[in-house]
Amino acid sequence: MYLYGASGHAKVILDIAYANKKQVEGLIDDNDSIHSLAGVEVYRSHTVYPEMELLISIGNNEIRKRIAEQFKANYVSLIHPSAIVSPSALVSKTGTVVMQGVVLQAEVEVGNHCIINTACSIDHECKIEDFVHISPNSTLCGNVHIGAGTWIGAGTTILPGVKIGKWCTIGAGSVVSKNIPDYTLAAGNRCKIIKKLK
């Protein structure tokens, strides 16, 4: 398989691929100054072809979406073996990564091209739409809904049943107790709306 994006985030995903005994044949990155990362060769984006097994290793949701739309490839998902995934949880097989120490409880649904970062706890019946990034050590209580493209900052706690709209950013360490509308930057304990995002 290949990873798109030669960055620190890619180094973590390399570890996850190796833990799954997957061979990573190369990385893709159009930064001409990068020729290898963690011992893996870096190729340019013109080498991507539709049958290539690919995972986008870029943390920014908007860029990940743009690349997924631009490049036709066989996008695959990776789950680190240390993650605990309920038998009734559904994790998309398209471009999603579930990192070390994550817990996905019963009937959780995770969409395409998502990042469930290190040691997140996602409780029963949470729904996570496409292109979401849940940063490390965040806790989603039961029945939380995260809209497409939303970024949840590290160490955030989201209380049961809360709905967060699409393309929101929630600041690190927030405690979210009320619904957050689409395209909103919100942060704090208790989480307050700071501004609308474009």
Closest CA to 122 of 150, 99, 141: 141
Residues 53-72 that bind ligand COA (CB under 6 A): 59
Quick check: is 124 catalytic? yes
190: preceding bond cis by omega (within 30 degrees) = yes
30-38, 69-77, 91-99, 171-179 -> range binding ligand COA (CB under 6 A): 171-179
50-58, 102-110, 142-150, 165-173 -> range binding ligand COA (CB under 6 A): 165-173
Quote the DSSP letter at residue 119: T
Shortest distance, position 22 Cβ to ligand COA, whole Å = 22
Taking the least distance from each CB to ligand COA, the nearer of 80 and 124 is 80
Cα–Cα distance list, 176 to 9, 131, 148, 153 (Å): 26, 20, 17, 11
7 binds ligand COA (CB under 6 A): no
CA angle 181, 62, 59 (to 5 degrees): 105
Select from 96, 117, 121, 157 the one that contacts ligand COA (CB under 6 A): 117
Separation between Cα atoms, residue 93 and residue 174, nearest integer Å = 30
Select from 172, 175, 182, 193 the one that contacts ligand COA (CB under 6 A): 172
Residues in the chain, overall count: 198
Taking the least distance from each CB to ligand COA, the nearer of 38 and 194 is 194
Note whether 98 and 104 are within 8 A (CB). yes
Taking the least distance from each CB to ligand COA, the nearer of 121 and 135 is 135
- Alpha helices (H) in the chain, listed in sequence order: 8-19, 61-70
Taking the least distance from each CB to ligand COA, the nearer of 28 and 99 is 99
184 binds ligand COA (CB under 6 A): no
Note whether 89 and 104 are within 8 A (CB). yes
Active site residue ranges = 124
Q: Which residues bind ligand COA (CB under 6 A)?
A: 59, 117, 135-136, 153-154, 169, 171-174, 187-188, 194
